[in-house]
Every structure is written in structure tokens, then in C-alpha cells.
Structure 1
């Protein structure tokens, strides 16, 4: 008897993630992940796009949920999108990631909080020229390719 089983049947459906470059001067906000994918790497704030949400709405919601920063008065720009398949992780997955950008005023007074300690070891500002290691794979790949999130 011939086996007609789909070899991809056990693989998860691709998901849409939104990641946010939050820039202040020449620094950006990064946190160390606590997750099955990219555990202990430094990544941007962000999360899953919910049904009916715009990229901007998702970016603002996820940043507020994770860090307490309220971006409602800030312009949130689309930067780029990436296609990432994680076959080497404990939990195989496929993400289309939408990268957004928010440029905070140099005098921004909001304090960053770690509101999801089960998902992140903490947030901090890192100088663009001295980023921590290891970076989350998709972010590292973008930066090694010459991507620069700072406006001209």
C-alpha cells in the first residue's frame, strides 16, 4: 500500500510576529529572551500579531505589555519584513516577522519595566556600536547584512 501522508503535516503553520526597534539617541532597547526559540539571546520587544490588528497596533500593544512603555503618542514606522524558519530549535517554527521602528525623544521620561519576567530577563538600552551578544538569530542576520534601523 502506498503512503500518501503529507510529510509537512506535523509542522506548525507559519505565524506573524512583530518586532520593534525602539531607538533613543544611538541606543536601542533589547531584552534577553526566555523562550524555547532563541533562549538567552538578546532581542527586540514584540510578539504575535492578533486577528484584525494593524502592525502599528500590535507594536504598541506588545511594547506596553512587555516594558510598560506607552507608544500612543509616537510615530510607529514599518521598516522591513523577514522570513525565518527555525528548524534547529527545540520547538520548530516558521515566522514572518514585521519590523517596526519608534524613535523616542531624547528627553523621554518613561521608565522601562520588565512586565513579563517569565519571557524576558530584563530590558536595557544598548549603544548601537556596542550591542550585547548573542543576538537573536533573525536580528543578528539583519545586522550582519548591513541593516541600520536609524533614520537618515
Structure 2
């Protein structure tokens, strides 16, 4: 279900996207409303599953220095089955259906080139995957969780 965000909701989300530990007092000061209003809006954003507060890991700081985008072609009417099998491969952090020649795409972040190879081998073991195109990420210049500007 779609929820219409107002200016205050946008402000809360934007500020929390920049600093997830910002206090309600600081939010209320910057957004010029009471702390009680912030608390109620925050709870509403959580309840409606618009906002989720989590710790974001810096992959490089924990030794995950290699990344790849892997595109796949799959047998007709096998998309859901392949998606379920991909969900079971731990290094895969992102799965999406796309348009174009390769209708399925995953993204991985791992410690080294060998681990990328292991993941590609695991994907090619899925019987319904008919073709794979692997794009190695050489450098990342922007990776943000700011969806609201």
C-alpha cells in the first residue's frame, strides 16, 4: 500500500539517512516541531514499513574488497525457482528482475576474486540458469542509502 509522505516525513527520513543515530531532540530542533511530534511520526514511519533503522556495514572495513554484478538468463517459466535458489547463496546481497537480454541480476560483495569465482560456479550449478554475464566492479564512487532528497 502506498503512503503519502509530507514535508515533515521527508525531513525525518533525509536527516536519519545522513545520521541514523540523530536524537529526537536534534530532529525536532532542526525540523522546528516538538519532540512528541517527531516520536509519533517516527513510530508511524516504522509501523508503515517506510523506515527501517539498521546498522550499515562498511564492506571494505570488514575485508570485503571485491564486488561483481552478475546477469543471468533463465529457462522459460523458471524465474521464481531461480530467485529462490539465489536467495540461498549468502554472498548475494541484491537480486532484481530487469528488462533486456539478461532478465535477472544479482550483486555481490566479497573478500577476493576467488570468492567471486565461487559464487559464479554456484550460480551456474542452478539448472535453470542458461547463461551468465559477470561484471567485476573495479571501483565504487557512490553507494548511498539516501532515497529522499
Same fold? TM cut 0.5:
no
**Higher-RCO chain (CA-CA 8 Å, sequence separation at least 6):** 1
Which structure's CA Rg is the greater one?
2
Question: Which protein is richer in strand relative to its size?
Answer: 1
Q: How does the TM-score come out when normalised to structure 1?
A: 0.28
Q: How does the TM-score come out when normalised to structure 2?
A: 0.28
